[in-house]
Structure 1
């Protein structure tokens, strides 16, 4: 994992911490998160802390990457998360992101996704990154396509029909690191 995570003039990426539990509780119970991503069964602050500890925080130690907080520079609020997830059901890490409703539609997901791909193909030296999205999540599909990911097709994963996107290191650097940011 790089010592310093990147950012922009508006936000920085940083590791999630257990004290981000209130943010995690709100995000994981947002109706759009529940509809398009999953119900993680997190209903209180203790469960949110455990989710962070056993999920993203454990992933940093195990893989050198995970989901990172998208923290606004002007006031330190966490707008969302974006990063790389290693799932047993996929052959490569996948790009994931989710934002609280107040922060959607502002281009943050696209810029954060591009920064995460820069990390994936730069310091982390990953050969490829996948992404999975529900068929009906057109906003997320637009984000993936805007950062150069290409649709591989529909797949049934854990009983759910999802679209799988992919980008490899060469494709990313053809477009140029940070392009579109």
Structure 2
């Protein structure tokens, strides 16, 4: 298990194939489907492939990716938070998803702030961005807490979906 960072309440670590059951559940949560999209993950084998081709491949290719967020107190998986290098975005995207039962407790804000600090101090990145569905006000508040500011909209390639685009200049 590779821990990337810890906060007061959280551990962010590399996702592993053993996390497939949690991923299967997370990517099929109603909020995930509505705000992020349907990843067509319906069984454990597909969840393993989703992890292998997504987060795990990103760690190797970019040196960062989406990290599993666990509560330090009991090791419970809360969701994902990290950096995603998307082909259609110039800068790494701060991405996150949380199990519904843990929303409203500040976990993702805490994780996102830690990821932004890590991106600046450990990875030496100069800019980050965020994309969010126009009606996802909770996610917009999280991006704004990290210091990101609205910077227009982007059309997601291969879809008719337009997302709000946020940008952050790191020191």
Q: Please state how far the C-alpha of 1:157 moved relative to its aligned partner.
A: 2.0
Residue 122, structure 1, aligned to residue 142, structure 2: no
SS at match of 2:19: helix
Residue 157, structure 1, aligned to residue 141, structure 2: no
Q: 2:113 touches 2:145 (CA, 8 Å); kept in 1?
A: no
Output the CA distance in 1 between the equivalents of 2:116 and 2:9: 18
Aligned length: 168
Give the equivalent residue in structure 2 for 1:105.
Answer: 104
**Under a length normalisation based on structure 1, what TM-score does the superposition of the two structures give?**
0.90
Unaligned runs of 5+ in 2: none
Residue 168, structure 1, aligned to residue 161, structure 2: no
Unaligned runs of 5+ in 1: 171-181
Give the equivalent residue in structure 2 for 1:74.
Answer: 73
Output the CA distance in 2 between the equivalents of 1:151 and 1:109: 19
**Under a length normalisation based on structure 2, what TM-score does the superposition of the two structures give?**
0.95
Output the CA distance in 2 between the equivalents of 1:5 and 1:91: 24
CA-atom RMSD in angstroms: 1.1
Query: What pairs with 1:141-152 in structure 2 (closer than 5 Å)?
Result: 141-152=140-151
Query: What pairs with 1:1-181 in structure 2 (closer than 5 Å)?
Result: 4-158=3-157, 159-170=160-171
Output the CA distance in 2 between the equivalents of 1:74 and 1:26: 22
Summarize deviations over 1:48-88 as a string: whole Å, max 9, x none.
01111111011001100000011111221110100000010
SS at match of 1:6: strand
Summarize deviations over 1:81-133 as a string: whole Å, max 9, x none.
00000010111110000000111111011110011001111111111001000
